[in-house]
Every structure is written in C-alpha cells, then in structure tokens.
Amino acid sequence: MSPARSTDGPRSDQTPIHVAIIMDGNGRWAKARGLPRFEGHRRGVEALRRAVRSAIEHDVRYLTIYSFSSENWRRPPDEVAVLMGLLKRFIRNDLADLHKNAVRVRVIGERESLAPDIRVLLEEAEAITRENRGLSLIVAFNYGARHEIVAAARRLAMEARDGRIDPDSIDEESFASRLDTADIPDPDLIIRTSGEMRLSNFLLWQAAYAELVFMPILWPDFDEAAFVAALEQYAARERRFGAVIKPTAVMTAS
Ligand code: FPP
C-alpha cells in the first residue's frame, strides 16, 4: 500500500470525497470459469484490496463498500458462511496494514443478529483505527437502507415521545444524524459493477445527489484502471463545460 494521506491536504473538486461501491458479479465471474461461487467471493476480496489502494492513491476520503446486505441472508447457508468467513479473514489479515496506512475502519448495518465473534472483530477494527485520519473505509455489513431509515424514524419517534425533541423541529439534518452514517458525508459517486443498474437497498437516503456509475466489469476483475475510469466519468459529469482534469494528474500535483 502507498503512504497514508491525511484528510487535511489540498484536493481537486473533480475528485469525489466519498465513493461507495456495490461490488457485484462474483458469482458470474466464477461461473464463467467453471469455478465454485466462493472462489468468486475470494477473488472479490482481492479486488477490494485493490479498491482500497486506489482510493488512497486518488485521494478519496471515504470509501463505502457493500459487503453483505440484509437480503444476503436469503442465499444458501454455505455461501453465507463463506461471506462471514471472508469478512473475518479480511479483518484479521488486513487490519494491521490498513492501520499502518492510517485507514479508519467504520461499520454500518445491523450488528445484533451477527455472530458474537464477528461483532467483536468489527468493534476491535473500529476501536483500533478510530484516531486514524487517512481514508475512512466504511464496511456496510448486514446493511439495508430501508432498515436504517426505519430505525432512524423510530429513534426520532421515541425521543419525541419522551419529550426530548419537539416533533416540529425534525428536519433533514436531524433525521440524517440518526442514520448509521451520521457523521459521514453523503457519497458523491456510487459505482456498481457487473452491469446491473439498481441500488439494491444501498444508501437510499444518502444517494439523493450521488452520481451513479454502472460498469460492465465483474467485481473480481475490478482494478485501478476501472477505478480511474469511474472517477473520470464522475469528473466529466461534474464539469459540463471546460476540460476534464484527470484524477491521476491531480494526485501528482497535490
Ligand atoms: C455480489 O456478488 C457480492 C456480494 C454478495 C458480496 C461482496 C463480497 C465480496 C466482494 C467479498 C467479501 C468481502 C468482505 C469484506 C466480506 P454476487 O455473488 O451477487 O455475484 P452474482 O450476481 O454474479 O451472482
């Protein structure tokens, strides 16, 4: 991994502050090669490592990855077990490297229904990296946007019932502050791989103004070139008039 970047340095308006990724296509990647689905997920973790490296290289400050959705429990139990195992291995194997690179790990999603050992690992990853000021890596695990939104509404309703807030004072800001992403800026760019064109219950509130980039590449093949291609699409959309500055050029200048 390249040296850590602080979140305080200069940056270009052309570079998204927050990139979120729906990592899709592991199963199709494996199927195309006559391999079991879990091999696609395993190679997906390698693509995830490349994405983290690319985000640091290109001065992205927040990277959210959709690792396990609340709907993924409907998959066959052995596939669910593989995904749980990969998360554990990712945290155990990569945490030291992430920490060394000043990455702050954060987790969004519903934790209560996760196995205790996974909860402990996620909490440790957050605690160990809490003071880091480089890339924030937000792991959406057992995450579903509708669930998150309902939970925020419930929190506000309970606070109003208990007289702690005035219902008339509820606005977008107070609502957003009850979401899992409370102190995280909204994503500027959401990438989905594998050619599917939907959000699949990912960051529905936060995606209100995000640029969406759908790429045909299957997730295990995702590399720095694909990351740069997505950043370039974003930059082109941001600048309707005038030249597009390549994020790589920005990186060299900063
Ligand atoms: C979608 O591929 C991907 C997922 C359901 C999970 C994403 C998981 C990884 C990239 C690896 C695990 C990483 C961690 C940190 C847990 P799919 O299986 O839906 O692919 P398909 O649509 O082609 O079948």
Read off the pLDDT of residues 174-203 as tens digits, 9 standing for 90 and up.
999 999 999 999 999 999 999 999 999 999
Is the beta carbon of 191 within 6 A of some atom in ligand 1? no
107 inside domain: yes
13 inside domain: no
248 inside domain: no
242 inside domain: no
Mutational pocket test of ligand 1: of 67, 71, 89, the residue with most ligand atoms within 8 Å of the beta carbon: 67
11 inside domain: no
Task: Give the chain's domain count.
Answer: 1
79 inside domain: yes
- pLDDT tens for 123-179 read 999 999 999 999 999 999 999 999 999 999 999 999 999 999 999 999 999 999 999
42 inside domain: yes
- At residue 249 the predicted structure's pLDDT band, cuts being 50, 70 and 90, is very low
Q: Are 226 and 214 in contact (CB under 8 A)?
A: no
Domain that holds residue 231: 18-148+185-235
Q: Which residues are catalytic?
A: 24, 72
Instruction: Find the CATH number of the domain harbouring 38.
Output: 3.40.1180.10
142 inside domain: yes
